[in-house]
Amino acid sequence: MSDKEIPNIIVGRLPLYLRSLQRMKKEDRQITSSQELGERIGISAAQIRKDLSQFGEFGKQGTGYTIDYLIKQIRRILHIDQEWDIAVIGAGDIGSAVARYKGFANRGFRVTVIFDGDPGKIGAQIGDFTVQDSAYMVDMIKKTGIRIAMIAVPAAKAQQVADQLVEAGIQAILNYAPINLNAPSNVRVQYIDPSIHLQRMTYYLE
């Protein structure tokens, strides 16, 4: 393990390893190997070993990896040995689904607030949350110090919302709107767009 910058592509795989490991843990497994992990995820054992070795020596020769320990290590590497608060913008279908989603628990995240601009939605109850007026969004995010946001507003409004989020100090955005966002380079942006995934598959269907 050196302290050279870790390639993006390796960082991108760590969450996949983690998800599989947490699954194994749920199945009451104690130990696994790069071989088994690779088969579950569909990548080579050597690659997993090499990826992990970028960050330290977590395995034991002849035995494999202690699942609990490796989970702890990867969580530490990914900085999810804590819970990150998340703001959701847009209380429509997707925003509501995300706000009610139980799956962030134990993955390092917790939705803490949801905003919408529609007077008809402001004040409504969604799961445990009361929809907040997005007019106060920038202030509230600044005050609470939330650093991660998910955009779930129509594409036409997404850039404008992103600009506000940046102003509010948000440092990571997960964007559900099917549009590329402009953001300063110190703000991370990731995208979720089901059409993109579907189109990546139809190429292979005749």
Ligand X SMILES: NC(=O)c1ccc[n+]([C@@H]2O[C@H](COP(=O)([O-])OP(=O)(O)OC[C@H]3O[C@@H](n4cnc5c(N)ncnc54)[C@H](O)[C@@H]3O)[C@@H](O)[C@H]2O)c1
Partner DNA sequence: AGCCATTTGTGCAAATGAGCACAAACAGCG
Partner DNA sequence: CGCTGTTTGTGCTCATTTGCACAAATGGCT
Binding site for ligand X (CB under 6 A): 89-95, 97-98, 101, 103, 115-118, 121, 134, 152-155, 157, 161, 176-178, 194
Residue in the structure block whose two tokens are 């983690």: 18
Look at residue 200 and give its three-state secondary structure: helix
For residues 56 and 2, give the distance between their C-alpha atoms in angstroms, rounded to a whole number: 9
Distances (CA, A) of 54 to 9, 19, 74: 12, 19, 12
Q: Check binding of 25 to its own copies (CB under 8 A).
A: no
- Is 76 a binding residue for its own copies by CB under 8 A? The answer is no
Q: Residues in the site for DNA, rule: CB under 7 A? A: 1, 7-10, 33-35, 43-47, 49-50, 52-53, 57-65
Q: Which of 31, 41, 45, 140 binds its own copies (CB under 8 A)?
A: 41
Alpha helices (H) in the chain, listed in sequence order: 8-26, 34-41, 45-53, 67-77, 93-100, 137-144, 155-167, 194-202
Q: Which stretch binds its own copies (CB under 8 A): 57-65, 91-99, 134-142, 160-168?
A: 91-99
Q: Which residues contact 108 (CB under 8 A, 6 or more apart)?
A: 75, 78, 79, 80, 81, 82, 83, 84
**Number of neighbours of residue 79 by Cβ within 10 angstroms:** 9
Q: Among its own copies, DNA, ligand X, none, what does residue 161 contact (CB within 5–8 Å per kind)?
A: ligand X
| Mode of pairing for the β-strands spanning 109-116 and 132-133 | parallel
What is the nearest approach in angstroms of its own copies to the Cβ of residue 105?
10
Instruction: List the x/- string, 124-163, binding to its own copies by CB under 8 A.
Output: -----------------------xx-x-------------
Choose between 32 and 96: whose C-beta lies nearer to DNA.
Answer: 32
**Residue ranges that bind its own copies, judged by CB under 8 A:** 11-12, 14-16, 18-20, 23, 40-42, 77-80, 84, 86, 93-94, 96-98, 100-101, 103-104, 107-109, 147-148, 150, 171-172, 174, 178-180, 188, 190-206
